[in-house]
Amino acid sequence: MPILSDRLKAGNTGIPLTLLESREFESWTQGRPGEQVAWLRASGFTGKGLALLPGENGELAEVVLGVASLDDQWILGDLAKRLPEGDYLVQGSDELLDRAGLSWLLGNYQFDRYKISEPVKARLVMADEQRVARLQRLAEGVALVRDLVNTPPNDMMPEHLSEAARALAGRFDATFNELVGDQLLTENYPTIHAVGRASVHAPRLLDLRWGNAEHPKVTLVGKGVCFDSGGLDIKPAAGMRYMKKDMGGAAHVLGLAQMIMSLNLPVNLRVLIPAVENAVAGNAFRPGDVLQTRKGLTVEIDNTDAEGRLVLCDALAEADTETPDMIIDFATLTGAARVALGTELPGYFTDADALARDLNAAGKKVSDPVWQLPLHTPYDDFLKSEVADLVNCAPSPFGGAITAGLYLKRFVEQTPWVHFDIMAWNQRALPGRPVGGEAFGVRAVFEMLEQRYR
């Protein structure tokens, strides 16, 4: 797996990297040596894109990058792979350096577990050692999300997800426990067991704890469906192709947990991950089955492909028993959320107005946008069952993200709660964001937590 930290270092020496807004190019040239301006004009540079300035002996003396706006979060997202080997010194405001450093690091990301990639040899240098360390840790959290989601399902089944969580706990002196297979029935997690029992990879509930018990308690819950065939309501081939990403919620909470622990946020952290494979076998749960849940509610199965909310509901019910300061869950839950917001804008649901305000502000501040969707309570009617307390999937094709959120809400009664419905996948390459696994809303949530608890 890639290590990004060595691509950004603290120091005061390196080839100068000048960032300027394209509209300022002409005024910027006024203070530059005439031979440099002549070179830029001869090479056709007009303040847009990349220019390399030679020194007296032909060596690279300076790099100039002209951009539309210095406020762009991804300002250096595609630069690292375009520069020759060397150290490049960047200077500017605190905000600019934060954007530059994080986008540079994430632009270095490559998933190279299964094939050899050409290493990036350019390094970014900035003077503030503390800033460098913080940006490295934030980038490593995002990289962990990407790595986990990108890993193919033959190497990312529930036991592998368990290994990743256990390794993370070991790094930060956290405690780790898990319930495996029939232990889920003994300890009353019946819906997690029901969804995962058809797989040869035993279902699990992963439980990580870290921090001072006297600090505010924050509980993260992540959907860990390591592969989703759809169960007996099997998906078509096209719908199944990228279902390795259905454990993206688990990846998000592990990446967020790594940020929290590595930056020593003063919280009492708990991470719960129901890890399963939704497979097809003779003992798979069926449409029409009625399942018990940890909370005591009964659920009639309308569709076995609505399995994420089933594994989440037991974990959320457990999280709620401790009445933490907040519960935040991440899940690749519905296609309906993607229809509403597209693949690059994560939707979230909450009735906690103060949390929503803080999340919106945090997302805007760190350029990690999130969008609140409504928990429209009249749609609760769509969850009614004739034989159980509720169904797992509304019969109406409309408002599917809302009804999924309302289903989950039944299992959180005592605690301020936020539910993220995410894509966890980039479908197009953008600066700093290659095609593949991606963290959505993680930096926004971390910023919100840091503002509350620092």
User: For 3-27, how does the pLDDT look when each residue is reduced to its tens digit (9 = 90+)?
Assistant: 578 899 999 999 999 999 999 999 9
Residues 6+ apart with CB under 8 A from 327: 219, 220, 221, 316, 319, 320, 412, 415, 416, 417, 418
Question: Which pLDDT score, from 0 to 100, does residue 432 have?
Answer: 95
Give the pLDDT band (50/70/90) at residue 44: very high
Q: Taking residues 59-78, report their average pLDDT.
A: 95
Of 197, 309, 410, 433, the active-site residue reads: 309
Helices (H) and strands (E) in the chain, counts: 14, 20
User: For 305-335, how does the pLDDT look when each residue is reduced to its tens digit (9 = 90+)?
Assistant: 999 999 999 999 999 999 999 999 999 999 9
In whole angstroms, give the CA distance from residue 42 to residue 37.
9
DSSP codes joined into one string, 246-257: GGHHHHHHHHHH
Average pLDDT, the chain: 96
Question: Which pLDDT score, from 0 to 100, does residue 379 have?
Answer: 97
Q: Give the domains, in start order, of the chain with CATH numbers.
A: 5-127 (3.40.220.10), 139-453 (3.40.630.10)
Q: Taking residues 92-106, report their average pLDDT.
A: 97
Which residue type occupies 122? A
Question: Which pLDDT score, from 0 to 100, does residue 3 have?
Answer: 58
Residues 6+ apart with CB under 8 A from 430: 74, 77
Of 166, 235, 365, 452, the active-site residue reads: 235
Sign of CA dihedral 287, 289, 292, 295: positive
Question: Which pLDDT score, from 0 to 100, does residue 2 have?
Answer: 43
Among 67-76, 102-111, 117-126, 231-240, the minimum mean pLDDT is found in 117-126
Among 54-58, 262-266, 313-317, 338-342, the minimum mean pLDDT is found in 54-58
Half-sphere exposure of 257 (CA within 13 A, CB side): 39
User: For 172-210, how does the pLDDT look when each residue is reduced to its tens digit (9 = 90+)?
Assistant: 999 999 999 999 999 999 999 999 999 999 999 999 999
Question: Which pLDDT score, from 0 to 100, does residue 1 have?
Answer: 39
Question: Which pLDDT score, from 0 to 100, does residue 454 have?
Answer: 86
235 has catalytic annotation: yes
244 has catalytic annotation: no
Question: Which pLDDT score, from 0 to 100, does residue 58 have?
Answer: 85
pTM of the model: 0.97
Q: Does position 158 have pLDDT exceeding 70, yes or no?
A: yes
Among 30-34, 85-89, 259-263, the minimum mean pLDDT is found in 30-34
Give the pLDDT band (50/70/90) at residue 281: very high
